[in-house]
A and B are shown apart, each in its own frame.
Chain A
């Protein structure tokens, strides 16, 4: 019997879709091994996200709504997550792999002396326990692993688990008592850079258009990569090269150490296809590569490759798709 606690993620009260994959994982585990799952959300003014979470078959939606939790500070959040995991007798604590969960779950795990597995892509029951598959070495190796301990922490790759079916019956929302005086206070929030509005997040979009070093400056990125993404209703992404040179913000980086995306369509524009980049997009359904170097490694994973200069090909492609 599994007792799964799912950590929900939201952006200023807007539920992140990846949370549904973590719920999908929990649903799959409970369907295979028996048991139930709850979901925990932390923050302030969580009404909308809480309502959404109630429709996915959780035994309860645990809501830690408190002004002290307005910002996701690791010391406070991990404390609450560990407390809830303990009082709920959770056997598995899971979140979708993101910078949010990666900051918090290992810390909460260690508070409970629990081990953790990151980037799980598969789970299957084995006796009363589970075995997991996870990716490592920039996506070049998949390991089958077991984790000992009464409570196990995990992050899952969003693309690997489908959201559970929505239920007509709503899960009860249960408040979690937060004693602000008992929360650690070693970290203070200062601020967050303004979000680039308008386009979807690359981890949630059906189409991602990504630019690499071929793109010479921010204006060209917006015109070529942004323009192509917009006709497809897609998100934009980039290689590390463009982030390092200040052309794109870090939130666009796709790869081993950036975001992992798995859209229906990924268009790599002037990206060579380094290991570390491919680690973040290899699970895409259809990959298109546009590159002037016919030998570029990106062509080895591309379903459709076009050898050409992106400064000519991309405007033409955008124009033709507009029709």
Chain B
């Protein structure tokens, strides 16, 4: 069985994101990059499935510039078997990415796709669902519990919804998107890094993949969110109650 795991290169979740002084773009000076945390969770789950099931090949793929090789290497060092970089410098929206992933899917024919529910930079939460629609496959989104059934032909998925955990089963091939509680991704080990150097990393220019995928969304401007005005410190509970009742008038 093959499992396809997309890895997006994103700004590290621990860095505070700011705009350049002229507001034209995000200030990336000195900002660290990482594998999108939800994708790392997806890869970890694929690795655990491989450890349990045995005969599994894990393919990680990233769409973007040469710099994405860094994240693919992390994926290989974590334990993925091979990597595929789809090279493009175009800024692409979720539908375009889903179309490209659909082409990768057709090429690789995996048993299923495990991917993040959301990229923590654009926060769109769309790509997995769009990919499932384009391929005509079932989907289970926001999954925090995953169990393979019936000789790995179906999965039972616990989904984190606003109302609590919902459980569904979905027939393979399918698209599964991960939520935070699915697992805690392993750290990259030194032997892992050494081994990764010998693993195949293929690069394909987007133009050679045979999909037409351009962005429908166009960013016109960026701005910081409105700043909250500085508040006050209160010293006692009485003072707090008084302020809430008589100044803010919210209770």
Chain A residue at minimal CB-CB distance from B220: A144
Residue A184 is within 8 A (CB to CB) of chain B in the complex: yes
CB distance from B27 to the nearest CB of A (A): 11
Complex partner residue of B164 from A251, A257, A288, CB under 8 angstroms = A251
When the two chains form their complex, are residues A244 and B244 in contact, meaning their CB atoms are under 8 A apart? no
When the two chains form their complex, are residues A251 and B156 in contact, meaning their CB atoms are under 8 A apart? no
**A110-B129, A186-B137 in contact; A250/B164 too (CB < 8 A)?**
yes
Residue A182 is within 8 A (CB to CB) of chain B in the complex: no
When the two chains form their complex, are residues B225 and A135 in contact, meaning their CB atoms are under 8 A apart? yes
Contacts of A313 in B (CB 8 A): 237
| A317, B250: Cα distance in complex, Å | 15
Residue B89 is within 8 A (CB to CB) of chain A in the complex: no
CB distance from A254 to the nearest CB of B (A): 11
When the two chains form their complex, are residues B167 and A142 in contact, meaning their CB atoms are under 8 A apart? no
Query: Would you list which residues of chain A between 255 and 287 have a CB under 8 Å from chain B?
Result: 256-257, 259, 264-265, 275-276, 282, 285-287
Contacts of B171 in A (CB 8 A): 186-187
When the two chains form their complex, are residues B167 and A78 in contact, meaning their CB atoms are under 8 A apart? no
CB distance from B112 to the nearest CB of A (A): 12
CB distance from A318 to the nearest CB of B (A): 10
Residue B224 is within 8 A (CB to CB) of chain A in the complex: yes
**A138-B123, A316-B237 in contact; A321/B129 too (CB < 8 A)?**
no
| A53, B231: Cα distance in complex, Å | 40
| A141, B170: Cα distance in complex, Å | 36
Among the listed stretches B47-55, B73-81, B140-148, B201-209, which one makes contact with chain A, having 4 or more residues with CB under 8 Å of it? B140-148
Chain B residue at minimal CB-CB distance from A234: B251
| A74, B139: Cα distance in complex, Å | 7
Contacts of A288 in B (CB 8 A): 240, 244
Residue A111 is within 8 A (CB to CB) of chain B in the complex: yes
| A229, B251: Cα distance in complex, Å | 12
Complex partner residue of B163 from A11, A108, A301, CB under 8 angstroms = A11
Complex partner residue of A109 from B95, B170, B228, B241, CB under 8 angstroms = B95
CB distance from B181 to the nearest CB of A (A): 7
| A195, B162: Cα distance in complex, Å | 10
Residue A173 is within 8 A (CB to CB) of chain B in the complex: no
Residue A148 is within 8 A (CB to CB) of chain B in the complex: yes
Complex partner residue of B251 from A105, A113, A195, A232, CB under 8 angstroms = A232
When the two chains form their complex, are residues A282 and B181 in contact, meaning their CB atoms are under 8 A apart? no
Contacts of B117 in A (CB 8 A): 257
Residue B11 is within 8 A (CB to CB) of chain A in the complex: yes
Residue B83 is within 8 A (CB to CB) of chain A in the complex: no
| A243, B144: Cα distance in complex, Å | 12
Residue A115 is within 8 A (CB to CB) of chain B in the complex: yes
Residue B61 is within 8 A (CB to CB) of chain A in the complex: no
Residue B3 is within 8 A (CB to CB) of chain A in the complex: no
When the two chains form their complex, are residues A142 and B225 in contact, meaning their CB atoms are under 8 A apart? yes
When the two chains form their complex, are residues A100 and B218 in contact, meaning their CB atoms are under 8 A apart? no
| A112, B139: Cα distance in complex, Å | 17
Contacts of A131 in B (CB 8 A): 220
When the two chains form their complex, are residues B139 and A147 in contact, meaning their CB atoms are under 8 A apart? no
Query: Would you list which residues of chain A between 303 and 322 have a CB under 8 Å from chain B?
Result: 303-307, 313, 316-317, 320-321
CB distance from A284 to the nearest CB of B (A): 9
Residue B152 is within 8 A (CB to CB) of chain A in the complex: no
Residue B221 is within 8 A (CB to CB) of chain A in the complex: yes
Chain B residue at minimal CB-CB distance from A289: B231
Among the listed stretches B15-23, B62-70, B103-111, B189-197, which one makes contact with chain A, having 4 or more residues with CB under 8 Å of it? B15-23
| A83, B7: Cα distance in complex, Å | 32
Contacts of A139 in B (CB 8 A): 225
Residue B29 is within 8 A (CB to CB) of chain A in the complex: no
When the two chains form their complex, are residues A249 and B141 in contact, meaning their CB atoms are under 8 A apart? no
Contacts of A1 in B (CB 8 A): none
Contacts of B222 in A (CB 8 A): 141-144
Complex partner residue of B167 from A118, A192, A299, CB under 8 angstroms = A192
Contact surface of B with A, Cβ cutoff 8 Å: 11, 13, 16-19, 26, 93-95, 98, 117-118, 120-134, 136-142, 144, 156, 159-171, 174, 179-181, 215-225, 228, 231-238, 240-241, 243-244, 248, 250-251
Please list 9 pairs of residues, one from A and one from B, whose beta carbons are closer than 8 Å in the complex, sorted by A's number. Answer: A103-B142, A103-B161, A105-B129, A147-B216, A148-B217, A148-B218, A189-B167, A303-B232, A306-B234
Contact surface of A with B, Cβ cutoff 8 Å: 11, 73-75, 78, 98-100, 102-111, 113-119, 131, 135-149, 184, 186-196, 201, 203, 207, 232, 240, 243-244, 249-251, 256-257, 259, 264-265, 275-276, 282, 285-288, 299, 301-307, 313, 316-317, 320-321
- Contacts A146-B220, A147-B216 supplied; 5 other A-B pairs, CB < 8 Å: A74-B129, A100-B162, A244-B180, A251-B161, A251-B164
> Lowest 6 A-B CB distances belong to which pairs?
A186-B138, A115-B216, A110-B133, A110-B130, A106-B126, A106-B129
